[in-house]
Structure 1
């Protein structure tokens, strides 16, 4: 029995062209009845596809028609069913974010890569960090801070000088963005089960926004973050090119 493949593509012309050619060659099924979903684009589109299809049983196999493509496989229009049959699966649990705003509202979102807080005005943010109900840092003055999963540790976290985490490490990275006080604080490694809370001090004078994989919430006063084990994103990679190999390779370039 041949694989039922559903193709999804970003709006980029190169991705749309790839989808048209692959559809002609292999057909195109509805996502809810497919054995595998093939995402064509860059990492941003891959994240969008994973979020959008998180309740479907089919795993997602990405092919790079974007820029970096850390979560993607190399693009080729040849032998796709064979590549899909041989692909190795990684399971990623996202982070859940509950952001409380100055007007008392709450917004929730999921993040496969990271949840970040960033100053939204000219002055540095003042954050209090609470882990599992205990205040661990009474004041962090910074441009922002983030909590990253292992899958997202080579993205914004790495740019902010956070550590690269092995995919099976069951830890989260808490990383400061341009910390001013304490100036030398570079963050912390926390168990995957940890619940992290950021409280925004002087929120009106020093406004802060929160983001979960690019989904922004402005004027936050409190952000609660934890891993969400009930959601498992299934991502396929070509043999020898999975996330564990990519994370190790990234540290030697």
Structure 2
């Protein structure tokens, strides 16, 4: 099973690993696109006003541009420690046992605008690049990633659970992947799309999928696994699941 997570705009600072080695990342066939994007970001960082415009940043966020300028020399962290925010707080990898962390490292991967895909344990520096960014002189990120990343994801043998947000899923869709939407249900039975706590619920779901000893092979088996864990999951056909949670 492969569980695809969205990245976060916020990143933990610093690190204790050697500088970025693109060839050491998962899916080495993505190295040419990764190299092009890293070099483009580093070059762009030399023109701060242009970098602000391309990345949608304000002057108060110039530290993000400085991070990009140091991509080749900055220390690295494993991806699951680099990304921060609501989803990763709920995933809480720091509390996993050694065996659970081993399963998480094998099963979890993060969609990235800069790296395409990073394994849970892949060491990366802090950076700033979003799926909707447009870098000067380059095609759209979707145009760059879809022909390179699409075959990598399509070639995975096993169940793929795609928890990426829409803009990251669009970089390289995965045919046949299970997707999960989250709805809240009020006491009167009415439902609404979860917005604020969506990432929290997906982080908890990712934690469950990362640590279970089960190995679901299809959407039906996945639904049964989630229901045994006490989750209210609906399946109306196809590969889409709906996680129904009580209204906050």
Same fold (TM over 0.5): no
Q: Higher relative CO (CA 8 A, sep ≥ 6), structure 1 or 2? A: 2
Higher strand content, 1 or 2: 1
Higher helix content, 1 or 2: 2
Look at both structures and tell me which one has the larger radius of gyration over its CA atoms.
Answer: 1
Q: TM-score, normalised by structure 2?
A: 0.28
Q: TM-score, normalised by structure 1?
A: 0.28
